[in-house]
Structure 1
Amino acid sequence: MYPDVVEHIYLLVAVTLISVLQNAFFALKIGKAQNSHAAAFENLFCASRNCMDSYPTFLAVMWCAGLCLRQAPAAFAGIIYLVARQKYFVGYMGQSSQRTPGYLFGKRTLFFLVLMCTVGIFNYLLARYFGSDYKEYIETITNAASALLLIP
């Protein structure tokens, strides 16, 4: 692979590999819960299924945001999403009120990534067809806004 290409995607690759390890952790937990009582297994299986349903969307918007705009804020948002997904998964093993914060946190992070994709594509179209490139301004705003993801 070309070094200049790797320079622009290595953070996204790292977050993707961490997400794969997290999926393996979820599968391991389900495997251990099969031997326990049915309610615990059902909760873990449902939590894992819910996480896996949103996984392709997460990967797509994280990679699009990283490639269309900037990889550092996209990778940071990806890590925040993985933390939220872990919180959701662990919360699913407890009371039903414990799963809501992780779900809402993950939803907000996905919205940020979708917004990054949209702005990146829109900026590309402006630069391509109108000659107005606002990438520096957008990157500054994105870097500042990514820190706001830490607010619960």
Structure 2
Amino acid sequence: MDMKVMENIYLLVIVTLISVVQNAFFAQKVEKECNSQNIKTSTLERVSCASRNCMDLYPTFLAVMWCAGLCLSQAPAAFSGIIYLVVRQKYFVGYMGQTSQSTPGYLFGKRILCFLFLMCIVGIFNYLLISHYGSDYKDYVETITSAASALLLIP
């Protein structure tokens, strides 16, 4: 593979691989609850539902993270991806306790997905500006998104 291409995507690849490991953890947790000798249907339902909810948003997360990383800037997109994975873990663990404990993780995850989506839109808009008008605002926008990605840490 071309080194220039790898320079532009290695952080996104690392976040994607970490998310695959996290998915395996979720699947292992569901399997463990299914195979336990004292089957508690409420515990199994909670773990299964939490895993299913996490998997429902997984394709959206991957799409917006990769689009934001390729169209705009890799580092803020990868940082947001790591934060999203931490939040998804918090949601999963919170859902296994009481469903009210999972709400902050869900809301924070939604905010991160919105940020990644906005990065995608800005990156595509910048590409259209370059192709039609010759104006490139990518450096300015990268600076703004790098600073704004740190604001995601504020609850």
SS in 2 for 1:151: coil
Q: TM-score, normalised by structure 2?
A: 0.97
RMSD after superposition = 0.6
Q: CA deviation at 1:97?
A: 1.2
Q: Distance in 2 between matches of 1:2 and 1:130?
A: 30
Question: Counterparts of 1:120 and 1:15 in 2: how far apart (Å)?
Answer: 20
Structure 1 residue 132 displacement after superposition:
1.1
Unaligned runs of 5+ in 1: none
1:9 equivalenced with 2:29 (yes/no):
no
* Residues 26-45 of structure 1: pairs in structure 2 closer than 5 A: 26-34=26-34, 35=36, 36-45=39-48
Aligned residues: percent identity? 74
Could you say what secondary structure the match of 2:97 adopts? coil
Partner in structure 2 of residue 93 of structure 1: 96
Q: How do 1:79-90 and structure 2 match up within 5 A?
A: 79-90=82-93
Question: Residues of 2 paired with 1:85 and 1:95: CA distance?
Answer: 15
Q: Distance between the aligned counterparts of 1:112 and 1:54, measured in 2?
A: 15
Which residue of structure 1 aligns with residue 154 of structure 2?
151
Q: Deviations over 1:77-135 (max 9, x none)?
A: 00011011000000001112101000001000000000000000000101110111111
Give the Cα separation in 2 of the matches to 1:50 and 1:9: 27
Q: Are 1:19 and 2:19 an aligned pair?
A: yes
Task: Give the Å deviation of 1:48.
Answer: 0.4
Q: Which amino acid aligns with 2:11?
A: L
| Aligned residue pair count | 152
Runs of 4+ in 1 over 6 A off after TM superposition: none
CA distance in 2, matches of 1:99, 1:26: 15
